[in-house]
Amino acid sequence: MRSARCAIPLLLIIATQAAAQTTPPKPRARDLGIAARIGGTPGTLDAITDVTGVEVGQTTLISGSGKLVVGQGPVRTGVTVVHPRGKDDPDPVMGAWFTLNGNGEMTGTTWLQESGFLEGPIAITNTHSVGVVRDAILQWQVKRPGLQPWGLPVVAETFDGRLNDINGFHVKPEHVLAALEGARGGVVPLEGNVGGGTGMVCHGFKGGIGTASRTLDARDGGYTVGVLVQCNCCSRRELRVAGVPVGQEIPDLLPCSASQDPTVHSSMPRCDAAPASDGTRDDDGQGSIIVIVATDAPLLPHQLKRVATRVSLGVGLSGGKGENSSGDIFVAFSTANAHTAGDTGLAHVTMIPNARINPVFYATVQATEEAMLNAMLAANTMTGANDVRVYALPVNRLMAALKKYGR
């Protein structure tokens, strides 16, 4: 019976991916000239996949509409997977993690902090699907050679219960396996309403998955820093884009109820009601953000901890403040220093001296800020469980706000 229930979402996954390949893509920050205002030099793809070897896979689950029926839907969720060296290379990478505010979860971080190595893929999903995603990664890993006899997968989450039947537990092992096996490198991953970000809300606009990258100047080593975010955080009034208070310029279009049934989400403002102008409808920064930083710069674990910490500055430039109810958790890894995790005798590693690490910090901050914006730019307006509607960031009004402030 379970396989019959999963068949419909899987068909919708195929349809969603096909549509994304045939529909003209929405403009990204670089297309709009905003990446240049943020600073730095984007990579060829302006994505985490600019870091050689990195692959991203996603499974998107969208089905149903109308009133929430737990276990049936509506479903607006999924899973996103990042393979540091690609799905066919089990060689661990050096890594580290950091939490700006800990109202969230990222499994596997105890051993990551202790060992300094990330062993296997990183996955992001919804809050109530962390366990099934973790277990599915283990099922996938134990069938592949080259791994130690145990696994402690890194799986992170944000809460999509506003739009998704989160207590219906719709993410299944087969969805995780599809993301793991379908991961690709060398292309820009789909952004917005996809994968783990399908049902997420960012600064009160439709959010989700976003990515960006920066390439260092040749004099700084020419290394690449790539970032992928699952953005489900932050207050509308705090939204900044390239320093411009965009959230204050677009105070309307907040999440609302599109239901014609007044008993459904009666405490939520109706979409057809007059917009509030006093900010009382703002959500005060509820939600979370997960950020993955990849680089080919030769950094050791203690340096990657410093990189992961700098993600906070990119989130802050976008308007995130590490609010009390937010789970802001970040992980960074380096694909340099291959084959140093195994017991092969004395390991020889290279590293950037601390005195030369600042360009990596700058790139991390810039790529994080842009990735958050790309998540909103790519996302479409979505109506989910109980007809809750979350609007897409209107590009014309964004550009008007930037123009108003001379940006």
Residues tagged active-site: 288, 326, 328
Closest C-alpha to 123, from 141, 103, 145, 142: 141
Strand order in the sheet with 93-102: 117-118, 93-102, 326-334, 287-295, 224-232, 208-215
How far is Cα 17 from Cα 198, in angstroms, rounded to an integer? 13
297 forms beta bridges with none
- Burial grade of 267 (CB within 10 A; 0-12, 13-18, 19 or more): exposed
Q: Do residues 208 and 194 lie in contact, with contact meaning Cβ atoms separated by under 8 Å? A: yes
Residue-by-residue DSSP string for 23-81: SPPPP-TTTTTHHHHH-S---SSSSGGGSTT-EEEEEEEEE--SS-BTTTB-EEEEEEE
Q: Is the dihedral of CA 341, 342, 344, 345 positive or negative?
A: positive
Omega into 90 within 30° of 0, i.e. cis? no
